[in-house]
Amino acid sequence: MELILASTSQFRKSLMERFGYKFKTQSPDFDENLYKAEHPNLSPEKMVGELAKLKGQSLLALYPEATLISADQIAVLNQEILHKPGTPESNFLLLKKLSGETHFLHTSFCVFHKQKLVAQHLNTTLIRFHKLSDSKITDYIERDEPWMCAGGYKIEKSGLSLIEKLETTDPSAIEGLPMMKLCEVLETL
């Protein structure tokens, strides 16, 4: 079975490798920022599911006989979608906003087999941050360089030190791909 990961995320790739899967990666041919701008009223849960699905669908014609995995992740604070900060300065402001607050991390994946959607899954993680001092935020940003991550932190690095409480059914979802459910789906194929 040819397995394609429709993602260039190093974290998703690392998860798949950790679980021993042999796969290729391919960047989706899909503009998620345009989609978000055109669908501002979708709930975060619906948005993350649609983005995961559309990323996968964008590659189906290239891999008609393959099993294709696509995913997306969105961080949400008080129903506001928190975008990837993009710069250290924006990252600082975002972590300042998250300081002492509870937010949600929605992670969705889709599995397509021979061009048919065979599974779609959503994992929601509750995360409450410690109250963070400016110096702790600055030190953290310098150490992990997380400005290209949803929420502006990397749980797979030292981002765990920012967290006071975490509730999830699948810890790997925080890294970008709910492997517990994905392994189950791939096993059935």
Q: Which domains does the chain have, with CATH numbers?
A: 3-188 (3.90.950.10)
Q: Of the listed 29, 72, 144, 170, which one is catalytic?
A: 72
The reply to whether 72 belongs to the active site is yes
Q: Which of 145, 132, 147 is nearest to 91 (CA)?
A: 147
pLDDT tier at 79, thresholds 50, 70, 90: confident
Distance CA 2, CA 6 (A): 13
Per-residue pLDDT reduced to its tens digit, 111-162: 999 999 999 999 999 999 999 999 999 999 999 999 988 889 998 889 999 9
Distances 185 to 78, 85, 118, 123, 189 between C-alpha atoms, Å: 32, 33, 9, 15, 7
Q: What is the pLDDT of residue 178?
A: 97
For the full predicted model, state whether its pTM sits above 0.85: yes
Q: What is the DSSP letter of 175?
A: G
Q: What is the pLDDT of residue 113?
A: 98
